Amino acid sequence: MIDKLFQTTFLFFALNLVIAGVIQASAQSNLQFPEAHFNQRKHNISDRAEDILIDHQGNILIAMRRGVQKFNGKRWSNIYIGKDSLKVNPIFTPDIYKLYRYKKQIFLIGEETIGYLHLNTQGKYLYKEIADVKEVKSELYLIRQVVTRDNHILFLGIKGILVWNTISQKKTIQRNNFKTNYVTYHNINHQLYIRVYKQPTQIVDTTSFSWRTTQRYPFIKETFPRHIFQLKDKRLLVVSQKREMLVRSTEGDFKSLDSELNNICKKEQEFYVQQRKNQLFIKAGKHFIIYDFFRKKILYLRTFRAEISSFTLTPQNNLWVATLNDGVYFIETNANYKKREIQQINERSYKFGDIQIKVDNLLYVNITTSDWQKKYKLPAIYKIKLLNKKIFFLTTNGFYRFNEKRQELIKESNKSTQYLLLSSINPNIYYQFTGNSFLILEEQSKGFKTLDSLSLKAFIRGVVEKNGNLWARAGRFGITRIALYPDGKAVKYTKAYLRIKKPEYASFVPFKFRDKVCFHNTAGIYYYDELKDSVLRYTIHYKDNQQKPTISNPFIQHYTFLHPINNDSILVTPGVSEKYNTPGILIYKNNGFNWHNTSFRRMPRYRYEHLRKLNKDTFQLFTNHNIYEIYPSKKVNIDYAFKTYLRSVQVKVKQTDSTSGKEALVDSSIYYGNLANPPSVTLLYPHNTLTFTYASDSWAAYERNLYSYQLIGLDDNWSDWSTEQKKEYTHLREGTYTFKVRCKNIYSTISSVDSYTFTILPPWHRTAWAYALYVLAGLALLIGGSYGYSRYRSRKLYLRNQHLELVVAERTEEIKVQKETIEIANEELTKANQRLREERDEKVKIYMQEATEAANKLQKVRNTLNEKGIEAVKRMIGNEIEGVDEFAIVREKVHQEFPAFAETIDQAFIDKKVTKLVWQVGHCLKLGMSPMETGETLSISNRSVSVHGTKLRKLGILEPIKKA
């Protein structure tokens, strides 16, 4: 796979052509520091920016039509200025053309108003007017400058001066009597001088804020300079009426600052200059210039599409530039590289002394000298090289030598030539590499002669010559050493080193470093040890805070391009710059290297095509669309302190849609940023969803800044680093929280921490008084419950006792009943036994009685028989039998009709209360028989029936006789 990659020869050498032929002078004029452009089309800001400054919280403010716009590091927003308050309706907002910062207040100067922005407790900018439209137009007119003297701010207008006392918050307006609008103020050595057209120079008394004529600096009246700027060494930088920049010494002598600088500025109208150390930052019309005051050299030139209105410097010397019709630019001068866009990749220029060569589309060559110009057509060109003071064109169809005298290109070889080297041993010997072959050529008067040749196993991609040895890159076959004889005219032998074993390691590229032949590929950097005749690997050390290059696929070569800067350091650039693969510098130490890339992390992530060394301090790095000029030795301020700011805090609130009438949750700001120490706020529980927006004032590649946050009271640790500039917390519980946020910039420097403390009140059912009520209710419930439970328990015990007593009573009653039943049963049994005995006895008695009666009757029968004969006995026995039969009938009827009576009289008979005769009499009487009928039935007298009936009535067996 790697061999196939290396076969794309035309593209590689075409890129070499692109790289090798850039003229440093032409590139310098278009090289730019990294910058960001903010305009109306992309960022919805005004393209017309009248002024720009940085406030105390790192916000970028620009003056524009209809107020002020603010950039907080995340987004642009509008501040519309109305009278005495902030207006959101642009109809009421006047034009603002100048901004001035005094401590934490931002003063605004407009065509109809002068005032300042101050902050409320929520960090929101509010506008306070100090001069209305009448005062501004009639008494001040156009404000030229704003300066501070002690506790006073002076607004210097054409018609007068407005003095604002920052302590008493009162104003004073001093009008002048100048009858011209050509009035300019100059701030020289803390004195204010007024330049008035065709009038003596005036000086402002900073005590009474009046002015008087002065004879000092007569050149002001004589030359009527356009601008005067105070330099730090008390010299003056003067811009004359001819737009020439002059330096006035302390002795009063004038000297031109720089002819090239004056040539740039000669057609411009407006100028502004700031000085930092030995550098002048100059705004001249559409041009912005950084000029080294002591080396007398232009370090940076940027020409904008529109006129520059203002600029401001960051502590790192980076620039915010406002233009009148092209928005706002942020320019990073604190960077060690510049960029230039390539308009057409196949059009390049070369310069060799007086000869200038331009190649169009790799085929057409225009050669120009001071005397002539000529155009040639060649095959596809790989390289153009200057060897032995001769210009050679290396093409796909051989190489050509340019003959300046004959003004023609002479073809010296018919073989495709990728490399042509001049021998260090013999100045007439050249080494030619044509694909996978090597030739030794000798230059003669009639051309080149081949002295020796060699076939190689692989396509050659790089060659280094040292001490009669050629080291060629041979693809997967590693490095081929071609050893030559001492005269350099023939090949002695060849030897291979570093054969590729792993396909992901791209083949080796030879280069020279510290008088050694070195090689590099994806895996690392190697060197040839002459004593051991072997190739050894350098050790590369990485610090903990350095980002180590990594291998992700075979086409990403992290050490693709190396170029020694000096004898101790090497500039390294990757073929593809991925997440951590930015250019870096290898510092040689103890036969190894230390890796440093922090200052290069600002480099964009492009596919880099080639690296070229221009001089000892400057390199060019090429991509498909840009050229990057790198300055490895330039000191970049990467450890600067910066801050992170909370830009806004929002809560969710319910809002009713006026159209639909439905409620929806919308964001409502409770903090607008801008305060150094925001006060703690207390929020109701329904507002427990908060959104925090944050940014930093590290503007270098600010879109790549990383942020970490922590909510004290909820999060145990800081969050992971992320480019996200917003964090939302939902449904927070009641309590006090502190949100903290910090930033890590592209140089891995961590900012200070900004914080915001807030308290969320609990819902009503979790408030202190609610808990107090809960406690009281709990106590009441406890006491009431205890009392109720006690009563309940007592009642339950009482009921249980009652129940037990009832059960006991029931059981006792049951026992009693059982006992009584048993006793009754026993008694009944006893009675039954007794009755049985009595019945038995009665029966015995009855039997005895009957037996006695029977005996008596038998005796009677015997007597009758003896006395009266048998006939009388028969009659007596017949009567007896008839009486018994009649009584049986009577008894049967009584038992059927009067069962109760029958049972009673039977019981009385059993109980021996009555005799059998009485018992028989009772049955007859109960049936209603008369005493006579009864006597006849029972064979007894009437008197006996009456006596026995009376006895039964006394016993209650028979009813008493009813009286008539």
- The CA distance from 741 to 695, in Å, is 9
pTM, two decimal places: 0.72
Q: Which helix (H) or strand (E) holds 185?
A: strand 183-188
Give the per-residue pLDDT at 53: 94
Give the per-residue pLDDT at 91: 41
Closest CA to 635 of 681, 683, 599, 597: 599
Tokens standing for 539?
């050790």
HSE-CB of 523 using CA atoms within 13 angstroms: 16
Give the per-residue pLDDT at 342: 63
- The CA distance from 241 to 542, in Å, is 58
Query: Rounded to 5 degrees, what are φ and ψ at 212?
Result: -145, 165
- The CA distance from 574 to 668, in Å, is 48
Tokens standing for 894?
């009584």
Closest CA to 12 of 557, 470, 628: 557
- The CA distance from 142 to 179, in Å, is 14
- The CA distance from 767 to 773, in Å, is 10
- The CA distance from 461 to 438, in Å, is 12
Give the per-residue pLDDT at 286: 92
Give me the amino acid identity at 666.
V
Judged by DSSP in three states, 17 sits in helix
Query: Residues 179, 185, 189, 191: is their CA dihedral positive or negative?
Result: positive
Q: Give the single-character DSSP code of 104.
A: T
- Quote the longest CA-to-CA distance of the chain: 219
Give the per-residue pLDDT at 141: 86
- The CA distance from 265 to 241, in Å, is 12
Give me the amino acid identity at 795.
R
Judged by DSSP in three states, 60 sits in strand
- What lies within 8 Å, CB to CB, of 193 at 6+ separation is 185, 186, 187, 201, 202, 203, 204, 214, 216, 217, 220, 228
The 10 Å Cβ neighbour count of residue 75 is 15
- The CA distance from 80 to 847, in Å, is 146
Q: Which helix (H) or strand (E) holds 879?
A: helix 870-897
- What lies within 8 Å, CB to CB, of 563 at 6+ separation is 511, 570, 571, 611, 612, 613, 619
Q: Which helix (H) or strand (E) holds 877?
A: helix 870-897
Cα angle: 873, vertex 874, 878; to 5 degrees: 115
For the chain, residues with pLDDT lower than 50 are: 1-29, 84-92, 344-346, 550-558, 577, 580, 964
- The CA distance from 19 to 342, in Å, is 11
Give the per-residue pLDDT at 182: 81
Judged by DSSP in three states, 951 sits in helix
The 10 Å Cβ neighbour count of residue 215 is 9
- The CA distance from 359 to 776, in Å, is 96
Closest CA to 152 of 188, 206, 81: 206
Query: Residues 502, 503, 504, 507: is their CA dihedral positive or negative?
Result: positive
Phi-psi region of 178 (alpha: psi -120 to 50; beta: other; left: phi over 0): beta
E-assigned strand segments in 538-591: 539-542, 561-564, 569-573, 584-589
Radius of gyration (C-alpha) of the chain in whole angstroms: 65
Tokens standing for 915?
């005799």
HSE-CB of 339 using CA atoms within 13 angstroms: 18
Distance between first and last Cα of the chain: 156
Q: How far is CA 223 from CA 201, 244, 911, in A?
A: 12, 12, 173
Give the per-residue pLDDT at 716: 93
CB-CB contact of 861 with 876 (8 Å):
yes
Which residue intervals of 49-173 are DSSP H helices? Answer: 133-134
- What lies within 8 Å, CB to CB, of 255 at 6+ separation is 246, 247, 249
- The CA distance from 600 to 134, in Å, is 55
Tokens standing for 251?
């002795």
CB-CB contact of 99 with 63 (8 Å):
yes
Closest CA to 583 of 656, 648, 636, 517: 636
Judged by DSSP in three states, 11 sits in helix
Q: Burial, 103: exposed, middle or buried (Cβ in 10 Å; 0-12, 13-18, 19+)?
A: exposed
Spatial strand order of the sheet with 419-422 comes to 419-422, 429-434, 437-444, 447-455
